[in-house]
Amino acid sequence: VGQGDAALIRSPAGRTVLVDGGPPQADDLLLRRLPALVQGPLDLVVLTHPHLDHLGGLPRVLQGVGARRFLDPGFEQPSESYRDLLALLARLKIPLRQPTLDPARPGQPVTIGLGEGASLTVLWPRRPVEPFLANTRSDANANSVVMRLTHGNVHVLFTGDAEPDTEERLLELGAPLRAQVLKVGHHGSRWASSAPFLAQVRPEVAVISAGRGNDYGHPTPEALERLRAVGARVLRTDLAGELRLESDGTRVRVEPVGPAPPAAPGGGTPQAPAPAPGYTAYRGGPVFHRADCRAAAKWTPAQREDFSRREDAARGRRPAKDCDP
Ligand SMILES: [Zn+2]
Ligand SMILES: [Zn+2]
């Protein structure tokens, strides 16, 4: 989604959770990609915090794809875009919730079941048991929803734009942070991913969501160095484009979906070309073809929908007779 965050979770039971919706200019991409990955409305949309690079693409997603529930930290943010988003949720009658702890059981974090043993545990915020973090570099960032996705023995940690204060508080609380996959905090800014935090997470894979050639210098050499020091394999959307990570409950497989974003003027790191799509379908049509099928050659890019994996192409479609994909 360029300079911002957006991650889609699909559970083995078919539940879908969208974590953030990128900046406003990402909405075309999200409206193109999400219907290929999600059937019906999203089960849950999580806005980690009310900044534009996380909520900008959400209004059109909520209208075009739909959502059953919406979760955000409940942090007051006097911005027009956030106010408009809340008004849209009300208009669409999408229930808005905050991760509120039961004061009688303060040690019991909010957990969201995703079916077949998969779940999301909200590690921050922890109101009303813990107050929002205040007087930080950015209180909106510091009170990002931090969640740990569990699938068997695989854990994925989503950190939003969490600040050093958030990381420190989670360490003090003894929150379960260990995760094979870390969605690196704050686009790889030097303010996130402190060494003590990474020592606890011990990520094998670290995913950085950032825009190619962004003005913030994300990801920063400092954050990259700290990730390297804990032995994490770093994946960057600014270089690779869309990424898919698949868990079998024991291991995580990484597959770039691409395409790699165009290099910023003035160069940048050269990238291997994205893998060619294997399958394609006429948008809204009942069949799918091999991507190189003659039948598909006549279609315009807007008419065709490409898939790297057969199971995605085959969802709701049957194989075409002409190319037998
Ligand atoms: Zn951000
Ligand atoms: Zn932010």
Q: Using the mean position of ligand 1's atoms as its centre, give its distance from the Cα of residue 52 in Å.
A: 8
Distances (CA, A) of 284 to 36, 38, 288: 10, 14, 10
CA of 4 to the centre of ligand 2 (A): 9
Low-confidence ranges of the chain (pLDDT < 50): 266-275
pLDDT value of residue 265: 53
pLDDT at site 274: 43
- DSSP, collapsed to helix, strand or coil, labels residue 269 as coil
Q: What spacing in Å lies between the alpha carbon of 54 and ligand 1's midpoint?
A: 6
Ligand 2 geometric centre to CA of 52 (Å): 8
- DSSP letters for 75-122: -----HHHHHHHHHHHHTT--EE-----TTSTT--EEEE-STT-EEEE
Q: What is the residue type of 8?
A: L
| The pLDDT of residue 292 | 82
Q: What is the pLDDT of residues 98-146, one digit of tens each?
A: 999 998 998 899 999 999 989 999 999 999 999 999 999 999 999 999 9
pLDDT on residue 73: 98
- Spell out which residues have Cβ within 5 A of ligand 1, the ion: 53, 161
> Is the pTM for the entire model greater than 0.85?
no
For tokens 């999580």, what's the residue?
46
Nearest residue to 291 (alpha-carbon basis) of 302, 277, 304: 277
Distance 186 CA to ligand 2 centre (A): 7
Separation of alpha carbons 212 and 159, rounded Å: 21
Residue 173: per-residue pLDDT = 96
Measure 55 CA to ligand 2 centroid, in angstroms: 10
